[in-house]
Structure 1
Amino acid sequence: MSSIDEGLEPTAAQVAADFPEVDIAIVCESTYPYLKGGLSAVVHQLCEAHPDYRIGIIHIAWDRSSPTVPLYDVPPQVQWVMPVYQSLQEHAGTFKAFRPRDSRVPGRHRRAVVTRLFDALDAHFAGDDGPLWALWDDGVNPVTRTFRLWPLLSSTEFMQAATQYFAGSGLSFADLFWQVREFFSLAYCVSDLHFPKAHVYHSHTTGAAGLLAAAAARQHGTSFFLTEHNLYVRDTINTLMNRSLATEVSVDEWRTITEYTTADFEPTTAVVDPKLRGWLGWFARSGVVAYRAADFISYLYPDAIREAAALGGPGEKSHVLPNGVRPADFAAARDEYRNRQERDADDRIWRLACAARVVPIKGQMDLLEALALLLEAGVTNWELDVMGPENEQPAYVEACKRRAHELGLDGRVRFLGTVNLRERFGGYDALVLPSHNEGQPIVVLEAMTVGLPTIGTYVGGMKQLVEDDIRVTIDDEAVLLGPCGLLAQPRRPEDLAAKLGRLLQDRVLYEALSRNAQERVERYFHLDSAMGMYRVVYSTMLPGGPDFLEAAVPADVR
């Protein structure tokens, strides 16, 4: 759109012309359709599964150097992809150029507007976002505003009030000015827009996407559907701190935490300085704004609802919508697996697959220690292939390879790098995923589809995915589907070794887990079932849909 390219602000008419009204606007950061896998794959599935809805994609990227070549065959129901940029360099003619006079607030009234802003922040911390949204209506939303809030950030009145309000932050005046400016610039980028009209704005994280979806739904008086695939606030805060992603986070931890242990291969103690504390607070509290504004929130597994509650996620809006896979996509691998099971003798060599990025959080070092314990116990009829990208932390990859050699695992453990799992999964007997943190990993669902039992750890959604009984209806009868694998405590190689040994030495157990794996996918984690649940939610949020709370989600996944 020419006005965006020129760094100008597009009018409502320009937005309407280039991005016409849709039923669903999917909002996400740096993903579909320009990156492959992960969240992008889920968004593509959603688009493909709803051919009768008009769909738009609001793609939040950092700047114009971000990828712009689609890596998916985008279906025709996707009417448009709208870019939104967060880098200040993309807003040189607007936000960066604002001066106090551009606020359209007379000098004598500026202090009152600034006071209103900080009163709204106080109300937010007290549990009420009404004043913040009222201020957005009056000073930000281009459809309703009577003045412009952002230019006041460089006013004397604002800095005097900010210096007093943040007096205990430990930041110098200059650092405070630039940090507050960064915070508000991020808010500007995703909230000061004429948004294309959608009846449902479906954000796939909190953060920038959640704020944008909340603002867009308010601008048009429509609905905001928030999906958390992982807990964005938790993962972002832990990434900022270089802390284990599995570390649970509370909404106000940023106020009190002083030091923490990093997740480096060789952990160290780090200190929370004032600037870091500010960013922790920004992400935690902006997440709260998105949670409160959402009409409906979905998570992949039940424990995520509990953990999100500590981040401000309201339980009364929260439901479980699991991931899904399409078994037909793995038909060839499943046939290969079945043929091997029928012809191989009980004294065969068990082929184990560890399919994950080779990084510390995936626990490959724990797995090597567990395999060494198996050898010590006399369990020798196995081999392992480690499959996954090795470019993220090369030092960890080399450390794993060295440790494998030190433990005498040469010839038994191979590091294969990135491979096509659909082509290889049929050649294995079990998946091993010793992670320290997971959501609801697609790779486990893919292994289940083939019939591979999973040896994993009690993290994220793994308990529901692998171990918990699942209630389904078959021929009008309620049936419980049993576990499809064995779980160990994370970072406990001895526990992992015990679970591996049990699987490899109990053929009856193995066959039961394999049958359950395929059945769980067919009956519960099937892609058609997962997309059907999304369809029910969409239908309740679209005009003329059924009663929202009564029909939103089937009872067995609430």
Structure 2
Amino acid sequence: MGIKILDKGKNVDVLFILEGTYPYVKGGVSTWVHQIITGMKDINFGVLFLGSRPEDYKGIGYQLPENLVYLETVYMFSEESNIESKRKTQASDKIKLLRVFLEDKDFESSWQNITSFEFFREITYEDFLYSKQSWDFIEEIYEDLGIDVPFVDYYWTMRNLFAPIFVVARLGMFIEKKEIGLIHSPSTGYAGFLGSLMSREYGIPFIITEHGIYTKERKIDILNARWVGVQYKYLQKKYDMDDLKKLWIKMFVNLGRVSYYQAKKVFSLFEEARKQQISLGCPQEKTKVIPNGVDVERLSRLIEIRPEGVPKIVSLIGRVVAIKDVKTFIKAMALLSKKLDGVEGWIVGPEDEEPEYAQECKELAKILGVEDRVKFLGFRNIADVLPQTGVFTLTSISEGMPMTVLEAMASGVPCVCTDVGSCRQLIYGGLNEEDMQIGQAGIITPVGDAQALAESYHKLLTDEEFWKKCQRAGLERVRKFYRFDQFIDNYRSVYEEYLEG
């Protein structure tokens, strides 16, 4: 069951279902959600937060807006201890319908069988954990799919794969029956699945906005994860992917398809992402692009407090996690420091999400001899960072439409970004011919190319004429195409369409 944090006793116009983001984790999607809530003060919002375990979060990281009237939290991997009985031995054979998550066979005709509270009333979490039918189901999948890993590793993988499904289903079934006008999820995955369940059961319209492509990002996470799969080498095929990772990827692919099928509308932040959604099974007629926006007037005032000239500081603003590829940034700074005296690299963002990775980044800086040049500043207000920054950088291996790039451009800071998500569109223009005529607001480099990053930083930090040209282009682009008021108006129109209906 969920933990109710806030309930003002009011109906919820728009209920956000959020996985691992707002209000406990700052930045990215959380900032986007906070902007929408604070930008529409006349609409009452609610939040269902789906987290991993309580110890993974330090508490609420935002001042909760007045029009946030409901907040409930559930921890998907801490609920097993709340199961009262461990003696249940019989369950319905319908448990085998869960197989649809792990294969493509008959998916389009069978996904609705497991996207219903009726299924989860008949097959409970206790049934999945302790019944003989569940054991038989898990054993059957192992044999039929020819899983080539030790059974004990496979068994616990299956438990972890499906446990959140039952947790979120139970949350949906027992959530307080208040009036909800619209459900909005910024992802597919478990949040999208819960949105699909509640939409079908209660007849509530359901929409999705994907920032990156959730399925793609989870695939990257899983392929790089140390916690998935067998920790010792035994595979005969040198380049074979661990079968357990294949199960996780298939699970997220099919969770995504469920969300796409049930949603009324599926939004993305840029055109290439919309095409990827369609390729992953989303009906084309449901898709639409709504770009992010930033407060250009507020951010552009930061230009007034910039120092003369171009500061020799390259700032990476974001979480210190593997998908941001902070290690490549550190390598680039090591190369740059050999060519440019006095240059510094600032890493501005929380380090608690992947602490082992953060520690590896710090050790890499020491190994490369740049621990005095690369500074880990933790979470900071961007208004204190961007005016001191000569170049903003993003070195990620996957992104959607990064808010930090828009904020940097609006603050008059040229950008060097890897060629991921919408970064090429933001830096070089791509919405239309007018956008492209504005010119480049920085430089795009290949993913994982420390040499190209270092050369791009050097170009911007030493060529002031080019730097000013990029600054002007970035400012013009955000003012014309990525304003906060445009962004809010777009979502207000979406909300009103469903709330009035």
Q: TM-score, normalised by structure 2?
A: 0.80
For 2:198, the equivalent position in structure 1 comes to 216
Q: Percent identity?
A: 23
CA gap of 1:238–1:19, structure 2 versus 1, over 3 A, is farther
Residues of 1 paired with 2:382 and 2:168: CA distance? 37
Aligned 1:44-83 pairs, distance under 5 A = 44-63=34-53, 65=55, 67=57, 69-83=59-73
Instruction: Give the corresponding residue for 2:119.
Output: 140
Which amino acid in the other structure matches residue 187 of structure 2? T
Question: Partner amino acid for 1:214?
Answer: S
Distance in 2, matches of 1:359 and 1:91, equals 30
Determine the C-alpha separation between the residues in 1 that align with 2:152 and 2:343. Answer: 59
Q: What is aligned with 1:400?
A: 365
What CA distance in whole angstroms lies between the structure 1 residues aligned with 2:16 and 2:222? 26
Q: 1:175 to 1:481 in 2, by over 3 A?
A: same
For residue 421 of structure 1, what is the aligned residue in structure 2? 382
Following superposition of structure 1 onto structure 2, how do residues 409-558 of structure 1 map, counting pairs within 5 Å?
413-415=373-375, 417-418=377-378, 419-471=380-432, 481-500=438-457, 502-503=459-460, 507-544=464-501
Deviation, 1:479, is 9.5
Is 2:333–2:454's contact at 8 Å kept on the other side of the alignment? no
* 1:278 paired to 2:247: yes
Task: From the CA coordinates, give the structure whose radius of gyration is larger.
Answer: 1
Q: Which structure has more RCO (C-alpha within 8 Å, separation ≥ 6)? A: 2
Counterpart of 1:490 in 2: which secondary structure?
A: coil
Measured after TM superposition, the shift of residue 165 of structure 1 is: 4.5
Q: Which residue of 2 aligns with 1:226?
A: 208
Q: Taking structure 1 as reference, are residues 480 and 531 closer, same or farther at Cα in structure 2, changes over 3 Å only?
A: farther
Post-superposition shift, 1:60?
Answer: 1.3
Distance 1:434 1:283, change over 3 A: closer
Aligned pairs for 1:246-395 (under 5 A) are 272-337=241-306, 340=307, 344=309, 351-356=312-317, 361-362=325-326, 363-368=328-333, 370-371=335-336, 375=339, 380=340, 383-389=343-349, 391=351, 392=355, 393-395=358-360
Pair 1:24-2:6 in alignment: no
Alignment equivalent of 1:190, drawn from 168, 173, 176? 168
The CA distance in 2 between the partners of 1:124 and 1:230, in whole Å, is 23
Give the counterpart letter for 2:88 in structure 1.
R
- Aligned-residue Cα RMSD (Å) equals 3.7
Aligned counterpart, 1:253: none
User: Aligned equivalents of 1:381 and 1:272: distance in 2?
Assistant: 44
Contact 1:225 1:294 (8 Å CA) reproduced: yes
Cα displacement (A) at 1:75: 1.8
Query: How many angstroms apart in 1 are the aligned matches of 2:452 and 2:103?
Result: 48
Q: Which amino acid aligns with 1:351?
A: K
**1: CA distance, partners of 2:211 / 2:80:** 29
Q: Please list the CA deviations of residues 12-66 of structure 1 after superposition, one character each: whole Å capped at 9, or x if unmatched.
A: xxxxx98754211001023322333222222111111122222111111234556
Report if aligned partners of 1:457, 1:488 keep a CA contact under 8 Å in 2: yes
State yes or no: 1:242 paired with 2:221.
Answer: no
1:210–1:226 CA contact under 8 A, matched in 2: yes
Unaligned runs of 5+ in 1: 11-16, 104-109, 245-257, 261-268, 545-558
Q: Any conservation in 1 of the 2:207–2:265 contact (CA below 8 Å)?
A: yes
2:343 alignment partner, SS class: strand
Q: What is the one-letter code of the residue matched to 2:212?
A: N
In structure 2, distance between residues paired with 1:496 and 1:68: 34
**Conservation of the 8 A alpha-carbon contact between 1:390 and 1:397:** no
SS in 2 for 1:201: strand
| 1:163 maps to 2:133 | no
**Structure 1: how far apart are the matches of 2:415 and 2:479?**
17
Contact 1:358/1:364 (8 A) holds in 2: no
Q: Select 1:99's aligned residue among 88, 91, 97.
A: 88
C-alpha change, 1:509 and 1:202, in structure 2 (3 Å) is same
Q: Quote the Cα distance in structure 2 between the aligned partners of 1:435 and 1:464.
A: 16
Cα displacement (A) at 1:190: 0.9
The Cα of 1:132 is off from its aligned counterpart by 3.6
1:282/1:123 CA distance change after superposition, 3 Å: closer
The alignment partner of 2:224 has SS state of coil
Give ranges in structure 2 of 5+ residues lacking alignment: 227-234
CA distance in 2, matches of 1:87, 1:359: 21
Q: Distance in 2 between matches of 1:56 and 1:36?
A: 18
Query: Structure 1 residue 311: deviation in Å?
Result: 3.7
C-alpha contact 1:199 1:222 (8 A) present in aligned 2: yes
What's the offset of the Cα at 1:539?
1.9
1:228 maps to a residue whose letter is: E
Shift of 1:533: 1.6
**Residue number in structure 2 paired with 1:551:** none
User: Cα offset for 1:354?
Assistant: 2.3
Distance 1:297 1:159 in 2: 37
Distance 1:139 1:84 in 2: 21
- The answer to whether the 8 A contact 1:323-1:440 is kept is yes
Please tell me whether the aligned partners of residues 43 and 67 of structure 2 are also in contact (alpha carbons under 8 angstroms): yes
Distance 1:156 1:397, change over 3 A: closer
Q: Residues of 2 paired with 1:321 and 1:382: CA distance? A: 41
Distance of 2:254 and 2:55 partners within structure 1: 29
Distance 2:300 2:444 in 1: 27
The C-alpha deviation readout for 1:410-453, integer Å capped at 9, x for no partner, is 8xx45252344312322333324344443322222222112122
Distance 2:343 2:150 in 1: 58
CA apart distance, 1:174: 6.0
Query: If the length of structure 1 is used for normalisation, what is the TM-score?
Result: 0.73
How far does the alpha carbon of each residue in 1:185-215 deviate from its partner, in whole angstroms, 9 at most, with x for none? 2211112323444221111222211111111
Partners of 1:504 and 1:538 in 2: how far apart? 44
Q: CA–CA distance in 2 between the matches of 1:516 and 1:288? A: 39
Q: Secondary structure at the match of 1:169?
A: coil
> How far apart are the structure 2 equivalents of 1:506 and 1:182?
52
CA distance in 2, matches of 1:136, 1:468: 41
Distance, in Å, in 1 between the alignment partners of 2:350 and 2:60 is 25
Q: Take 1:162 and 1:385, find their aligned partners in 2: how far apart are those partners? A: 49
State which drifts further: 311-320 or 530-539.
311-320
Describe the shift of the 1:40–1:358 C-alpha distance in structure 2 as closer, same or farther (beyond 3 A): closer
Name the CA shift for 1:365/1:353 in 2 (closer, same or farther; >3 Å): closer
